Structure 1
Amino acid sequence: MCFSNLVQQDSNPTSKSGSILISKVVNHCHSPILPGLPDDVSKYCLALVPRSHFPVMGAVCKQWRSFIKSKEFFTVRKLAGLLEEWLYVLTVDAEGKESRWEVLDCFGHKHRQLRPMPGPAKAGFGVVVLNGKLMVIAGYAVADGTGSVSPDLYQYDSCLNSWSKLASMNVARYDFACAEVNGMIYVVGGRGTDGESLSCAEVYDSDTDKWTVIESLRRPRWGCFAYNIEGKLYVMGGRSSFTIGNSRFVDVYTPENQTWCQMKNGCVMVTAHAVLGNKLFCMEWKNERKLAIFNPLDNSWKMVTVPVTGSLSVGFRFGVLNGKLLLFSLQEDAGYYTLLYDPNADPGSEWQTSEIKPSGLCLCTVTIKA
């Protein structure tokens, strides 16, 4: 394109000055990432740089910044075994007024506090990790006493420490279920702009930056959550306008067939959930001193008692780090330690305490490898 535009500007393409200018522009358009090296080698070299230097590298030139933002950069670091696992925690102060994202490593060291999320503060939004990036989806906001429901999608690039706005959903919603499955983001149900229960669903493709409507649920559902196990989308918990109370039905979506089916033995009134390996860990409002562990291989549930050690709290938020489950108390206790559950530990030693602790009360967490 650079070459064709230049030819149109120079009516005599054989002139000496025109040839020189063409040469410079063509070379600029095809300039190597690192002079003297093939691009594939250059990309590997950039991926080897310590993660803390990525924001500075992104300011060197557009070419470097574009590569660091790309899915390819994530893939190169993954193949090189360089991905680092950090826990991103959304915390709120004791008064419940100000929230912020902070980043913790496996030792509980705080690495940084994220820049504030764009737009007004929201409730009922969803969070998903896609290609090493934090995605914050939709939600309900109140500005100047007026409430509004958002269809917005924001992306936080952990390598460049920056937020960007992506394509908006087809339907604005809050209190919905969302999860990543096979490199795509699925959003299901929730409440609409008038507070109505929704059954519609859609999927986001990061390659095209586009949302596509998929088959709806059989019934509306809100306050639910979603998770991915072995390439299938499971939607559990919440409420349905066609049932009194809470639904035990689990809606299961298979992307290959683009169809929904149902199971009948789900959890209800779930206050926290996380996936470890191929198992789902839940905590129900009616029994917050036990973990409910779901195994999709045989559709079975197992209950594990949460010890009193570490905190007398009966309310927790979950985090996942290095294949272990972290339980963050929802109460401020002076002598509080984070509880840690290791599903692969020897019987009797699954529970421990951890020094990992956010600076405020935990609202939600995501684990990002980048």
Structure 2
Amino acid sequence: MSILSQSKPMKKVPIIGTMPIILDMNVDSSSASEGEESGETKEIAQSLACLTSQNAYHVAPQLLYELQVEIFARVPCPEYWKLQFLNKQFSQLLKSSEIFRTRRELGLVKPYFFMLSSNDRRWTMFDEDFKSSQRLPKLSSDINFFSGDKETTCVGTQLIVIGKYKEGITVWRYELAMHKWFKGPEMITPRIMFGSASHGTNAFFAGGFKISKNGVEVVSIVEKYNAETKTWASIHPMHRRRKLCSGCVLRGKFYVLGGQNENNENLTCAERYDEETDSWELIPNMLADMTLSIFQAPPRIAVVNGNLYLLETSLNELRVYNVNTNTWKKLGIIPVMVHLTKGWGVAFKSVKDNLMVIGASSNRPHSQKMGTYKCYPSPDMEEIHWEELCCRGGSLKHFILNCCVMLA
């Protein structure tokens, strides 16, 4: 099922010297039928074609370009790829970042979940309420890539997937505007099991392990990826080597939590990176109160409204971090059975003012379908109330291999 738009009252946009455009300026991409959406997309394309025809000679080029960007910005993101076939000019416009900048300026940005579950070889994109979904194209990679560990990060309007390939570690990226997979660009030091987090069109990738002829080496290397230029840059390394760690951006700084060092020992310390000073600060004992084991997943963390939340996977508990005291407060039990798998197979993400947890539901212990829950957290609460979402856009197996959120 595609993410679809719902009809609302139309507004006319008159252009001197051309026929008027009839366009829905309040596109809601959460519902409606596929036929309606295809018709609307076709109507927008025809209107754009009219603007670039010989009838548009009275329109100033810059005004025409700005109007095109305004129109494209209101098309539902999952439909962009259909418009690239209109002509080369619109295809180039679609590839630029101008449309997405305009979406941000107009407040049209929406979150989308990109998820891969067990026994699946195609990612699925869900809207923020899980009312609709869309399957991504198949990724042309070998069995080693799909059977091995993979790390995913959404940065800008790209989904970055990094994993083992027959020739080593490779990077794949899915571009939302083109609805296509592309290979690369490769990391400066290819590695997996790192901690990552994105902020706008940039993302940080810290630690992990690299594979060489001499074997596996845990590193403290950190790289920054720019989605607009599609380039990698090295930044100052961390104080500690660590793999199986987690990253987040908290109050303007990049945090890396937990993981294991080169001796497979669990790390209770964390580090935070200040981009202005290009320096790392070590935070001792940040995870000292957590139950850690060698087989558990990287810390499940998410940031909402400047507060850091964590799943204590051994106890199925939600906790919130106090930056000033370096302590954690308990906020009650979560509705997903994360303790049975030591944190593996569960997605824990922030969306706007919400926390989302997805996995094997505690209410349906024998079900193979994922349970999806959200809450409105606050550090002042004594216990969080979770609301279950009905996945009308389809459902995946309850063991979630990868999940990340894109704002587009």
TM-score, structure 2 normalization: 0.71
1:338 Cα offset (Å): 3.0
Per-residue CA deviation, residues 208-263 of structure 1 (Å, 9 max, x unaligned), is 33222222222311111111112211111111126x73111111111111111111
Instruction: Give the paired residue count.
Output: 326
Q: Structure 1: how far apart are the matches of 2:236 and 2:352?
A: 35
Higher mean alpha-carbon deviation, 320-329 vs 73-82, is at 320-329
Which of 293, 311, 319 matches 1:283?
A: 311
Segments of structure 1 that go 5 or more residues without pairing to the other structure are 1-31
Q: Structure 1: how far apart are the matches of 2:177 and 2:382?
A: 39
> Which residue pairs with 2:377 in the alignment?
343
1:180 Cα offset (Å): 1.7
Q: 1:183 to 1:281 in 2, by over 3 A?
A: same
Alignment of 1:114-125 (within 5 A): 114-120=136-142, 121-122=145-146, 123-125=148-150
Q: Structure 2: how far apart are the matches of 1:336 and 1:112?
A: 17
1:369 aligns with 2:407: yes
Q: 1:169 to 1:280 in 2, by over 3 A?
A: same
1:311 Cα offset (Å): 6.3
Q: 1:353 to 1:181 in 2, by over 3 A?
A: closer
Aligned-partner residue type, residue 124 of structure 1: D
1:127 aligns with 2:155: no
Contact 1:90 1:362 in 2 (8 A): yes
Contact 2:139 2:181 in 1 (8 A): yes
Contact 1:229 1:278 in 2 (8 A): yes
Q: 1:219 to 1:49 in 2, by over 3 A?
A: closer
Which of 217, 221, 227 matches 2:238?
A: 217
1:240 aligns with 2:261: yes
Per-residue CA deviation, residues 111-130 of structure 1 (Å, 9 max, x unaligned), is 21111234332433322222
> Which residue pairs with 2:333 in the alignment?
306
> Which residue pairs with 2:227 in the alignment?
206
Q: Structure 2: how far apart are the matches of 1:163 and 1:263?
A: 38
RMSD over aligned Cα atoms: 3.0
Q: Structure 2: how far apart are the matches of 1:33 and 1:301?
A: 58
> Which residue pairs with 1:112 in the alignment?
134
Q: 1:149 to 1:174 in 2, by over 3 A?
A: farther
> Which residue pairs with 2:175 in the alignment?
157
Contact 2:304 2:352 in 1 (8 A): no
Q: Structure 1: how far apart are the matches of 2:244 and 2:306?
A: 23
> Which residue pairs with 2:188 in the alignment?
170
> Which residue pairs with 2:114 in the alignment?
88
Q: Structure 1: how far apart are the matches of 2:229 and 2:251?
A: 24
Aligned-partner residue type, residue 116 of structure 1: K
Alignment of 1:288-299 (within 5 A): 289-296=316-323, 298-299=325-326
Q: Which has the higher strand share?
A: 1
1:314 Cα offset (Å): 4.5
Q: 1:258 to 1:182 in 2, by over 3 A?
A: farther
Per-residue CA deviation, residues 336-358 of structure 1 (Å, 9 max, x unaligned), is 74333221598666222222473
Q: Structure 1: how far apart are the matches of 2:106 and 2:338?
A: 43
Q: Structure 1: how far apart are the matches of 2:163 and 2:246?
A: 14
Contact 1:278 1:295 in 2 (8 A): no
Which of 247, 266, 278 matches 1:258?
A: 278
Report SS of the residue matched to 2:209.
Answer: coil
Per-residue CA deviation, residues 278-313 of structure 1 (Å, 9 max, x unaligned), is 1222223432x10122243553321122156x7697
Q: Structure 1: how far apart are the matches of 2:254 and 2:175?
A: 25
1:54 Cα offset (Å): 1.4
> Which residue pairs with 1:3 in the alignment?
none
> Which residue pairs with 1:49 in the alignment?
75
Report SS of the residue matched to 2:89.
Answer: helix
Report SS of the residue matched to 1:99.
Answer: coil
1:317 aligns with 2:325: no
1:167 Cα offset (Å): 1.9
